[in-house]
Amino acid sequence: MPQVRILAKNFMDMVAALPATKLDKLYENPFICEAVLRSLPPLAKKYALQLLFIDSPISAKTMEGWVLADGISKHRVAIDRLLQLRVFLEEIDRKKESTYKLNPKFQGNIQKYLVYGGSLPRQPMPSNVTVRLPTLEDLETYVLEQWEVATAAINQGFLLQLISSSQVEKLTSFSASMMKFFQRGLLSARENEAPKLTENGFQFLLMDTNAQLWYIIREYISTAEDRGVEQMDLISFLLELSFHTTGEAYNLNTLTDIQRSVIKDLANLGLVKLQQGRKESWFIPTKLATNLSVSLSDSSARKQGFVVVETNFRMYSYSTSKLHCEILRLFSRIEYQLPNLIVGAITKESLYSAFENGINSDQIISFLQENAHPRVAERIPAVPENVTDQIRLWENDRNRVEMTLAHVYEDFPSKEVFEATCDFARDMGGLLWEDTDKKRLVVRGEYHQDMKDFLRRQK
């Protein structure tokens, strides 16, 4: 599914982008090492384990001999990933050939893990202290509610009026600084004007929950130092969360002051649920937290679909969410809304409005496929082919004509001046059209001032 351009594919892309010194510092944490090992492609994981108890460097040529000729492309992808994450350190020997060895900090932690076994970041609290915890179904409902409020907060100027008064109160928990960096790139605001969604903002609304989460987490990490938090500490804590168990309670007193501040932000996003007991307080990780180290391509964390599209372009959405209604309104005509059903139609006019806002046909089709109701999700295809084909055709029709700002020049005093002007415009690369018989030409708008200066000199 096409996403906002600045979206990281997964958490490990953000880890790989860190400077070498910070990345090496991260590998002092055994949970980071384990998370990185789990994230590696199968062949890269095999190489890391093969070199785990080898201290001397292995030449690149030797490792190439470990695969058959038809597997050399996968071999190169695996080596590149290991080098990006600094799991492998590259050295040049006396013969000027590349050799690889494992990062010592990574190697030491994985060796200890395999020999002595792993341990959890923290132990769950006993049931006699926490008494009644929410069920997994309760947590799923909590995640959806929190995420709807969070999405409305992030796109506040566009969606604030869509949520209920009880949900508006939850928005007050979002600090101004959090709101500012969440909205960065999604909203644009001119002086004395209400904020408007940017092209990226419209695309953000069509992403699935997992993709939206990655966008926000990336922004949250990139602005960590503005809030006085080290990026390494934040990444380390977020990856540690992925090793916790969904639905279990963990004591807040086991967290540092910075981690307690972060956990409140994560609760606003639905990654954890905070609860207060008589004497103790705890946090409960949801699926969003425990899937933090999972690739975007993993579908297990996606919410259940709600949209049915028919071959006559009619669309039925089984949802009580006003947010869902407004998202569907981005590319369809909403005809009426019942308490648990939204009925609409995909039309040429509604799609043209979406295209003008920067949404393309692939994003619309992907949204419909990702959010297909369970009754139709198992069909192949989940969205009728005549509908997807027509959506693409309407986009192609719109893109067939390209609008270019231009100026027409005519009434030249002589053929010589006309031809000289045409040559000048052609040399600049701005000539779009010329008519020698009627002495007229059309030039791109950005060259208008140059044309005026040239014509003034001709006079």
CATH code at position 98: 1.10.10.10
State whether 228 and 279 are in the same domain: yes
Residue finishing a domain among 290, 324, 340: 290
CB 283 within 8 A of CB 273: yes
Same structural domain, 236 and 96:
no
Q: Are residues 194 and 330 located together in one domain of the fold?
A: no
Tell me how long the chain is: 459
Identify whether residues 157 and 77 lie together within a single domain.
no
In this prediction, residue 195 carries a pLDDT of: 61
The answer to whether residues 164 and 209 belong to one domain is yes
Indicate if 153 and 265 belong to the same structural domain.
Answer: yes
39/187 same-domain check: no
171: tokens are: 């928005």
Both 225 and 97 in one domain: the answer is no
**Containing structural domain, residue 450:** 406-458
**142 in any annotated domain:** yes
Query: Is residue 61 within 8 Å of residue 112, measured between CB atoms?
Result: no
Residue 214 belongs to a domain: yes
* DSSP-assigned states of every residue in 81-140: HHHHTTSEEEEE-TTS-EEEEE-HHHHHHHHHHHHH----SSPPPPHHHH-SPPPHHHHH
Q: 146 and 83, same structural domain?
A: no
User: What's the CA gap between 327 and 202, in Å, rounded?
Assistant: 9
pLDDT, averaged in runs of 10, over the chain (459 residues) = 40 83 90 88 94 92 91 93 94 87 94 83 84 88 80 56 43 55 65 67 76 80 83 87 90 91 88 88 90 53 78 94 85 93 96 89 92 90 95 88 85 90 89 90 91 85
Q: Which of 86, 116, 146 is a domain's end point?
A: 116
Among 384, 399, 414, residue at a domain's last position:
399
136 & 104 share domain: no
Within a domain: 299 = no
Say whether both 215 and 363 belong to one domain. Answer: no
Residue linked to tokens 């790139």: 185
Question: Per the structure, how many domains does the chain have?
Answer: 4
The Cα–Cα gap between 56 and 89 comes to: 12
Domain assignment of residue 296, yes or no: no
Q: HEC profile for 296-349?
A: CCCCCCCCCCCEEECCCCEEEECCCCHHHHHHHHCCCEEEEEECCEEEEECCHH
Structural domain includes residue 163: yes
**Residue 442 sits in a domain of what CATH number?**
3.30.70.2610
For 103, the token pair is 């990062």
State the helix-helix crossing angle for 448-458 and 415-428, rounded to 10 degrees.
150
Q: Which two tokens stand for residue 459?
A: 């006079």
Task: Determine the pLDDT at residue 231.
Answer: 85
Residue 361 lies in a domain: yes
Q: What is the pTM of this model?
A: 0.65
Distance CA(38)–CA(285), nearest Å, equals 20
d(CA 417, CA 319): 68
Query: Residue 315's CB: how many other CB atoms inside 10 A?
Result: 23
Rg (CA), the chain: 28
Whether 325 and 207 share a structural domain: no
Closest CA to 24 of 78, 89, 77: 89
Residue 185 has a pLDDT of 65
